[in-house]
Amino acid sequence: MSARTKARKRAVDLLYGADVREISLNSAIAAESARASEQPDRAASWQYALEIVTGITEHGDEIDELIETYSQGWTIDRMPVLDRALLRMGIWEIMFNEQVPDAVAISEAVRLAEELSTDDSASFVNGLLARIAQLRG
């Protein structure tokens, strides 16, 4: 598994944990930063995970507006917490990280949805992220 793949999983874990525990992303980032400094072997995955989560905090309103606009029939509060985290990560990579091709951002989010979420999540995540990528076109 590549360092970026591990970082994406770590970012999703952080987003999910903050949402479930109802703590701010900044608090979750601080706690994970402290843990990362104690575990240097995980440093490679932490840097990109931190970039993802920090990017989501900076562009959260825009990202959530895109989710609300293009998730037909679902409000952001109604969707599973894990799917919300995957979508936020995928949208950040598509819209705000020029180093990651859209197809890679989508496939990584879909793979994590298949691995971690419900049976319907992968197709939902794929469809919504594909629409967002088309917008950016």
Q: Which residue has the tokens 């919504």?
A: 128
Q: Where are the domains of the chain?
A: 3-136
**Burial (0-12, 13-18, 19+ Cβ within 10 Å), 126:** middle
Please check whether residue 55 is in contact with residue 96, taking contact to mean a CB–CB distance below 8 angstroms: yes
pLDDT in tens, 85-134: 999 999 999 999 999 999 999 999 999 999 999 989 999 999 999 999 99
pLDDT in tens, 17-75: 999 999 999 999 999 988 888 887 777 789 999 999 999 999 999 999 999 999 988 88
How far apart CA 132 and CA 94 sit, in angstroms, is 8
Rounded-to-integer distance, Cα 45 and Cα 126, Å: 24
Q: Which tokens is 87 given? A: 């979508």
Class of domain 3-136: mainly alpha
Tell me the whole-structure pTM to 2 decimals: 0.94
Q: Is the pLDDT of residue 137 over 80?
A: no
Output the pLDDT for position 84: 97
